[in-house]
Structure 1
């Protein structure tokens, strides 16, 4: 039994899909499949039931998953203690971000604090869609990240940083049309949305599902931090952070629809097994310092 096989087992069990787990682990799908089969042969039990065409944990898999997670956590703790014995914290932090402006996420202040407190640590940040970011953290491919959602993600360690409210922005040229009806008329207007696994798409879907409706999406964009530009140009409606939406109304760029809003939270997220790693603990403390003011 090898540690990488255990890591593949945990990743597939958490994500529930071999292809997505392989992407999160940065290996090929056949490699993950082979690692699972080798682990099952080594343990002498089947970890997954594949008979129904869907990948589900067997009873043995359910019982062994907590042990596998504990093994990965112990491995991370062992590495962390070794680094402590060597002296100052070193290494690389891969930090995942939602598609939001750097100023809103306070990335400049975080980078300054990390460079000052952890001079031997390399900080790398990259934007990911929300669901992909969570999968990458679950798989241990990235150290930590910021996640926006109405609830903290399952199976992960999370720290709430601030509340985030979203409002509906409607282009000025569509203002008369939207005033003729309620939610149904609003849903029939053209909408600019994020990709399916983005936080904007998840939030907007939840907002309209409450009304038993779905918005008429005419365009999906990867960089949701620029949705305001599409509304300003009159391309369609969009879900914008409240401070952005209100500022646009003040500048006569668009109008905000009624009192409808959606409340979410910005979370700092790490994996459960990595939460005790000294480098992650230090990073968590620095992030807390950025937002506790």
Structure 2
């Protein structure tokens, strides 16, 4: 009976099928739970597959069609990709709380002597931290790679090294006494929802964009 009911709804023009959406390692920040819950309630015949991806990999997969759309951090300018702005985000230079004496008032040359925790080069986080190094003319003597920002935050708290941490997370850790933050650096980034420009009028993509605009209370463009 359910199959007949679903078929009838599909014939009425309701959105059906499957859509593959890339997500990040922090589902709370991108509000993926609200997104999926609202999507299911409004369009129960459209099955959303979530794929956690590093930012650069997500971009490449949207470009080549492996993903239909994705959440994406960082700068973006590609003629084949369209985007919806979701929110701005700020990153802070963070270190273990026990390192405050050697980090908070240190010169950038002194900071370069400390271990830094970075993500793989395909990640937007890597680009942010690389821009910071280039701006101050430093190249840390020791860099430790971690594949997710949540892992980086844990490593900083554990005393492994310094890194860029998203400000909302960094302030929580600072308030709990496990992380210290430099006051002189704030690095800005952006959270987007990206999809192929060629599919900007695709009913499935338009459905996702409508849900996101409602969740984030964004104006219709």
Asked if Structure 1 and Structure 2 have the same fold, meaning a TM-score greater than 0.5 normalized by the shorter chain, the answer is yes
Residue 78 (structure 2) pairs with residue 154 (structure 1): yes
Q: Secondary structure at the match of 2:38?
A: helix
What is aligned with 1:118?
A: 43
Deviations 1:93-149 (A, max 9, x none): 1111223x2111101100111101110011111111111111111111111111111
Moved over 4 A (4+): none
Unaligned runs of 5+ residues in structure 1 are 1-83
State how far apart, in whole Å, the 2-side matches of 1:238 and 1:112 are.
33
> What is the CA-CA distance between 1:180 and the residue it aligns to?
5.8
Q: CA RMSD in A?
A: 1.7
What is aligned with 2:20?
A: 94
Unaligned runs of 5+ residues in structure 2 are 1-9
What is aligned with 2:183?
A: 258
| More relative contact order, 1 or 2 (CA 8 Å, 6+ apart) | 2
State how far apart, in whole Å, the 2-side matches of 1:125 and 1:217 are.
35
CA radius of gyration, larger in: 1
What is aligned with 2:152?
A: 227
State how far apart, in whole Å, the 1-side matches of 2:142 and 2:128 are.
14
What is aligned with 1:47?
A: none
State how far apart, in whole Å, the 2-side matches of 1:147 and 1:191 are.
24
CA contact (8 A) 1:98 1:199 kept: no
Q: TM-score, normalised by structure 2?
A: 0.88
Residue 193 (structure 2) pairs with residue 237 (structure 1): no
Query: Residues 217, 88 of structure 1: CA spacing in aligned structure 2 closer, same or farther, 3 A cutoff?
Result: farther
What is aligned with 2:197?
A: 272
Q: How does 1:70-149 map to 2 (within 5 A)?
A: 87-99=13-25, 101-149=26-74
State how far apart, in whole Å, the 2-side matches of 1:180 and 1:244 are.
22
Q: TM-score, normalised by structure 1?
A: 0.67
Q: Secondary structure at the match of 2:199?
A: coil
